[in-house]
């Protein structure tokens, strides 16, 4: 079995198919890791989600902020933005089935056998891998039950901006979700700046990329992430694989083979 990982697809279905065709991806034998933001803003969110669902036994996904946004719209806790392209999913005959599948996905996954971890935005510097997986499980449990309604209703917001073990209730769940799905930079205490979206050259004073924190507890983990298109995949760390290469912003989609780090770049563009 060959395993691959792809960054933010965001409905760029044709680019995804192009990458998979280039490597002759076979869902009967191969596995695709998807680093979140499967849908939204791109032209073919429905086709993308249907493909992943159809091959769900050969796909490992984590949820990104756009995937959670889709859930919030579906359940009536958020109105669609003009830039959203979720209507095709919401209007589809298999919408309920697709949404149910999304609700089963994690925020962070780890595979001991190949020693890879994946989260959409990354892992909070102050968390160990074990802690990260436990915190992910807290949100996952909520998504699968009727507790999803208060969660989605209170999901949006930039506070609390720093993790504390004694956080409870909606503050705790929102903070966990923000680290896994929205984080780019933080200070030495792990305080998030959720406004900044630029590259690494103009980061506000006192902040740095989450993965450059000197005391990060997952430095020895191989982590796949997306979310930060401005990096364009350029991360000077042999244990980190940032696979958001800005396809939905007119750049490209990147597929990585996990056993040899070979990159496949989409030739087509939506």
pLDDT value at position 236? 85
pLDDT value at position 8? 98
Nearest partner of 11 among 243, 248, 232, judged by Cα: 248
CATH code of the domain covering residue 58: 3.60.21.10
The mean pLDDT value of the chain amounts to 97
**Continuous H helices in the chain:** 13-22, 45-54, 65-74, 87-90, 95-102, 129-143, 148-153, 169-181
Q: pLDDT by residue (tens digit) across 143-172?
A: 999 999 999 999 999 999 999 999 999 999
Q: Is residue 270 part of a domain?
A: no
Q: Is residue 122 part of a domain?
A: yes
Nearest partner of 267 among 248, 246, 253, judged by Cα: 253
Q: Is residue 39 part of a domain?
A: yes
Q: pLDDT by residue (tens digit) across 91-130?
A: 999 999 999 999 999 999 999 999 999 999 999 999 999 9
- Given a cut of 90, whether residue 66 has pLDDT beyond it is yes
Bridge partners of 224, per DSSP, are: 118, 241
- Given a cut of 70, whether residue 269 has pLDDT beyond it is no
> Which is it for strands 31-34 and 3-6: parallel, antiparallel or unpaired?
parallel
Domain range holding 71? 3-265
For residue 141, give every residue at least 6 positions away whose Cβ sits within 8 Å of its Cβ, in sequence order, or none. Answer: 147
- Whole-angstrom CA distances from 242 to 51, 91, 180, 234 are 23, 33, 14, 7
Nearest partner of 241 among 82, 122, 104, judged by Cα: 122
Mean pLDDT of the region 52-73 = 98
For residue 230, give every residue at least 6 positions away whose Cβ sits within 8 Å of its Cβ, in sequence order, or none. Answer: 197, 198, 199, 246
Q: How many independent structural domains does the chain possess?
A: 1
Q: Is residue 227 part of a domain?
A: yes
């Amino acid at each position: 079995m060959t395993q691959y990982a792809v960054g933010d697809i965001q409905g760029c279905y044709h680019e995804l198919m192009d990458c998979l065709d280039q490597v002759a991806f076979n869902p009967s034998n191969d596995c695709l890791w998807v680093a979140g933001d499967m849908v939204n803003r791109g032209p073919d969110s429905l086709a993308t989600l249907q493909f992943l669902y159809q091959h769900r036994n050969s796909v490992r996904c984590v949820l990104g902020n756009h995937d959670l946004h889709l859930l919030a719209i579906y359940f009536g806790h958020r109105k669609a933005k003009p830039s959203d392209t979720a209507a095709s999913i919401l209007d589809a005959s298999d919408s309920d089935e697709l949404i149910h599948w999304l609700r089963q996905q994690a925020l962070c996954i780890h595979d001991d056998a190949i020693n890879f971890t994946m989260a959409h935005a990354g892992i909070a510097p102050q968390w160990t891998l074990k802690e990260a997986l436990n915190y992910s499980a807290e949100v996952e449990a909520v998504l699968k039950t009727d507790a999803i309604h208060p969660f989605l209703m209170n999901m949006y917001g930039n506070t609390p901006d720093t993790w504390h073990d004694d956080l409870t209730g909606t503050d705790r769940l929102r903070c966990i979700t923000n680290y896994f799905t929205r984080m780019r930079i933080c200070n030495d205490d792990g305080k998030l700046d959720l406004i900044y979206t630029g590259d690494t050259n103009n980061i506000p004073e006192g902040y740095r990329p989450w993965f450059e924190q000197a005391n990060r507890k997952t430095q020895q983990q191989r982590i796949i992430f997306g979310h930060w298109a401005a990096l364009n995949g350029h991360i000077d760390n042999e244990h980190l694989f940032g696979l958001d290469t800005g396809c939905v912003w007119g750049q490209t989609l990147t597929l990585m083979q996990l056993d040899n780090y070979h990159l496949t770049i989409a030739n087509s563009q939506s």
